[in-house]
Amino acid sequence: MGENVKLTARDGHEFDAYRAAPARTPKGGIVVIQEIFGVNAHIREVADSFAADGYLAIAPVEAASRTLARERADAFHAKNLA
């Protein structure tokens, strides 16, 4: 039911996501947050289930944002705790 898409943030950062759309006009939108295992079959099934119930569901892949956050945290600690 869903599809893999690429999203672009305002700052130009691109990341992958799984998007599941309902057959008709959406009742609303839902962001499905991945578990520790990422956007796997289970998370795609959850998003598809919401879409079957009439909602537009998106499950962003968070690995890239975690990497960026870790890099920024490391840079902060290196600068301020050295």
Domain assignment of residue 17, given as a range: 3-80
pLDDT of residue 36: 78
Count of domains forming the chain? 1
* Backbone angles phi and psi of 58, in degrees to 5: -130, 135
Q: Give the side-chain half-sphere CA count within 13 A for 36.
A: 0
Quote the pLDDT of residue 67.
64
Alpha-carbon gap, residue 59 to 19, rounded angstroms? 6
Does 55 score more than 80 pLDDT? Answer: yes
Distance of alpha carbon 34 from alpha carbon 9, whole angstroms: 18
Total-model pTM: 0.74
Read off the pLDDT of residues 20-54 as tens digits, 9 standing for 90 and up.
999 999 999 999 998 878 899 999 999 999 999 99
